[in-house]
Structure 1
Amino acid sequence: MVVAAISLGACAQKTKPVQDPFKGAISQPLVRGMYTADPSAHVFNGRIYIYPSHDIDVKVAENDNGDHFAMRDYHIFSMDSIGGEVTDHGVALDIKDIPWAGRQLWAPDVAYKDGTYYLYFPLKDKQDVFRIGVATSKKPEGPFKAEPQPIEGSFSIDPAVFTDSDGISYMYFGGIWGGQLQRWHTGAFEANGSASDLKQDDAPALAPKVARLSTSMLQFAEKPKDVQIVDSQGKPFKGGNHDQRFFEASWMHKYNGKYYFSYSTGDTHFICYAIGDNPYGPFTYQGVVLKPVIGWTNHHSIIEIKGKWYLFYHDTQISKGKTHLRNIKVTELRYDRSGKIISIDAYAGAK
């Protein structure tokens, strides 16, 4: 017994305590009562509203198609200021109330026009193909009522709607792997197509899509176009440029008259951005907005309120690293004098 005790003591002395990877987190989860991700933030009537995904633990094995991201409804959150109390407005839209629903309600976005709020959401239809739907409400917090059919001509995931100063709205969308963007490269859905284009390093990288919305905000006013992201020499990225090429999570905002298109590199987990002179681009790559977070995916939104800019994002602090059980966060975003975004490390407090 004494020998065993000495042996255990020796082992204990050699074992180093496990460090908390979130110890240096620069911000804390905004919501703790449930898992939330992919935060799309907007300012309506002077109040901040957040439209995230609602992660749930369905005990589905993780795979490249993202079957373990089996979300079924949306909750909307709001706060009167950054750092203020967060209000959960409850279920704004449930998959059972969407007539064409199959499965998986992924990252949404919202736009406002003429007294109506429009919730745009990706959802697999009954043939297991991702389409983009729209639901409406007279209140930013909902509840929202879904249209009977998805937007005609829509596909893939991650809708992000930007309304320019002239009142015209544009939807940016697309995501590779489970988001199915690669299955549309010919213009028609290929059910048995490649699971990904990420091994085609010398081919042009798949591009995100953009389409102007109709005046009703319920349909596309045009066929979706490629969003071209180029390097400083004006050359489009190749598929092998995994640290800079588009993967998913489009977002658009405007700063000092320029259009800032930001996105996730997906398999390398950077949030990057590129700048253009109009909503269609081309957009010239500038750098990294947010370095990789703990939890595989990286998805964001950027807003201005009261003269300051903020980045909303997610990681997996509450679930301690489980990739499909995430939590939304926010931190201040800053620009340098030339208009470049100062890159953010979500765990800089540990250094």
Structure 2
Amino acid sequence: MQTYTNPVYQGYFADPFVWQYEGVYYAIGTGAAEAEGNINNIDTANRLRVFPLLRSFDFCNWHFAGNALLRTDPALGDNFWAPEVAYSDGQFYLYYSVGHEDKNHQLRVATSNTPLGPYQDVGKPLVDPNTCPFAIDPHPFCDDDGQWYLFYARDFLDTEGGVRVGTALFVDRLQTMTKLAGEGKVVLRARSDWQRFLANRWMYGEIYDWHTLEGPCVRKHEGKYYCFYSGGRWETENYGVDYGVADNVMGSYSDAGNETGPRVLKSVPNFVRGPGHNSIVLGPDGHTEYVVYHAWTQNMDMRQICVDKLIWTPEGPRCQGPTWTPQTIT
């Protein structure tokens, strides 16, 4: 029996995505320099690459393994957010967003022959920035038939049917691993007060009561598709993880039942603040599922990677956490 205590890595590591390849676990995330858009915060050895990588041989002990992505054209921006990696036909694909602070973020993809990279950008955006000026948090999902899809977050300004203005979730089929089919559909929109990011926010030339759903992560369980997401304002204790469920990968999804707050992960006052932006991976036993997420340090100076078990209950998925005491890996 091995044990771990959250956070499982002491450095800055936000938006964690974990995958397993040939018996080894890898994690990629947003580092401090990527989040701030400050190249000077990256050590000299990795000045030309972005996105920190971690590696673990036992799922408990994680070690820094370099940075993944060869830095792109500076004109695209210096804010690199929320990378995720897919493996298909012998190639690794790194999906990410790049932009300037909270605007002009575009989705892109880079490739590598090895999990640790370096990853080279393919040279074009996945979504046209002229028609979608803000797209973040790409999440590749492979269905049982081998077809890949890309879930991501983008902005919506309409309120039709009682939905809230803000960032919400979208999905499109991947025609190839580097090209979307253009068949996109809305996955989920904000409907509840706990999902508010900021009141009276100046966006797109107007003032809005802005809401946010972000960080999609999809899992198929007993024939249904569960799209986990994080809602609210990422720096605050109201931020947490909820989900929508659908019978079809393209929807429609429903997150009814979450009106009073996130059901999967939420803050524990005085112990864990702002847990969110999760991925899901199988543990070493090959069947126990784990939610990998970030949470703030108590002094709010960094987000760190945490791990807790995913439990499927009759009421839906729940996380056996957040925890801050020693936990056993089964």
- Shared fold per TM-score greater than 0.5: yes
Gaps of 5+ in 2: 40-49, 197-210
Contact 1:100 1:148 (8 Å CA) reproduced: no
Q: Which residue of 1 aligns with 2:226?
A: 260
Aligned equivalents of 2:294 and 2:38: distance in 1?
16
- Report the AA paired with residue 108 of structure 1: P
Most deviating of 152-161 and 123-132 = 123-132
Q: Equivalents in 1 of 2:295, 2:249: separation in Å? A: 29
Choose from 280, 285, 294 the match for 1:302: 280
In structure 2, distance between residues paired with 1:164 and 1:210: 13
- Could you tell me which residue of structure 1 aligns to residue 52 of structure 2? 75
Deviation of 1:141 (Å): 1.5
CA RMSD of aligned residues (A): 3.1
Instruction: Name the structure 2 match of 1:204.
Output: 163
- Aligned sequence identity (%): 27
Compared CA separation, residues 334 and 71, structure 1 to 2 (3 A) = farther
Aligned to 1:283: 253
Change (3 A) 1:170 1:298: same
Quote the residue 2:126 is aligned against: 151
2:9 alignment counterpart: 31
Q: What's the secondary structure of 1:279's corresponding residue?
A: coil
| d(CA) in 2 for partners of 1:54, 1:71 | 10
Matched ranges for 1:6-85 at <5 A: 27-32=5-10, 34-56=11-33, 69-70=36-37, 73-83=50-60, 85=61
* Alpha-carbon offset, residue 242 of structure 1: 2.9
Cα 1:127/1:345, change in 2 over 3 Å: closer
CA contact (8 A) 2:84 2:140 kept: yes
Deviation at 1:211, TM superposition (A): 0.9
Aligned to 2:241: 271
The 2-side partners of 1:274 and 1:93 are apart by 31
Moved over 6 A (4+): none
The structural deviation recorded for 1:45 is 2.2
Give the structure with the larger strand fraction.
2
Residue 86 and residue 204 in structure 1: after superposition, are their counterparts in 2 closer, same or farther (change >3 A)? same
TM-score (norm 2): 0.74
Letter in 2 for 1:142: G
For 1:51 and 1:91, how far apart are their aligned partners in 2? 9
1:107 to 82, 92, 116: 82
Deviation (angstroms), 1:77? 1.3
Q: Does residue 160 of structure 2 align to residue 169 of structure 1?
A: no
Alignment of 1:207-218 (within 5 A): 207-215=168-176, 217-218=177-178
Q: What is the CA–CA distance in structure 2 between the aligned matches of 1:339 and 1:346, rounded to whole Å?
A: 19
Native 8 Å contact 1:70 1:103 kept in 2: yes
Give the residue type in structure 2 aligned to 1:282. S
Counterparts of 2:65 and 2:290, CA distance in 1? 22
User: Shift of the alpha carbon at 1:82?
Assistant: 2.3
Cα distance 1:342–1:137, how it changes in 2: closer, same or farther (>3 A)? Answer: same
Residues 35 and 56 in structure 1, CA contact (< 8 A), matched pair in contact too: no
Change (3 A) 1:307 1:238: closer
The answer to whether the 8 Å contact 1:51/1:108 transfers is yes
Question: What is the CA-CA distance between 1:164 and the residue it aligns to?
Answer: 0.8
Q: Report how far residue 110 of structure 1 moved.
A: 1.0
Deviation at 1:160, TM superposition (A): 0.8
Deviation at 1:30, TM superposition (A): 2.2
Q: What SS is found at the alignment partner of 2:309?
A: strand
Structure 1 length-normalised TM: 0.70
SS of aligned partner of 1:82: coil
Give 1:123 shift.
Answer: 0.5
- 1:88 corresponds in structure 2 to 64
1:74 shift after superposition: 0.6
Asked if the contact 1:100/1:125 (under 8 Å) is kept, the reply is no
Tell me the equivalent position of 2:97: 122
Whether contact under 8 Å (1:271, 1:298) holds in the other structure is yes
The answer on whether the counterparts of 1:98 and 1:148 sit within 8 Å (CA) in structure 2 is: no
Alpha-carbon contact 1:246-1:265 (below 8 Å) kept: yes
Q: Distance in 2 between matches of 1:103 and 1:295?
A: 27
Q: Alpha-carbon deviation of 1:292?
A: 2.5
- Cα-to-partner distance string for 1:266-321 (whole Å, 9 max, x where unaligned): 2331200122111111223265111126454621111223110001011123xx43
SS at match of 1:274: strand
Instruction: Please tell me the residue identity of whatever aligns with 2:227.
Output: F
Aligned residues of 2:5 and 2:324 also touching (Cα < 8 A) = no
Shift of 1:69: 3.3
Q: Work out the CA distance in 2 between the residues paired with 1:313 and 1:126.
A: 22
Instruction: Report the equivalent of 1:238.
Output: 191
The one-letter amino acid paired with 1:29 is P
Q: What corresponds to 2:205 in structure 1?
A: none
Larger Rg: 1
Aligned mates of 1:99, 1:246 — CA distance in 2:
28
Q: Distance in 1 between matches of 2:274 and 2:325?
A: 20
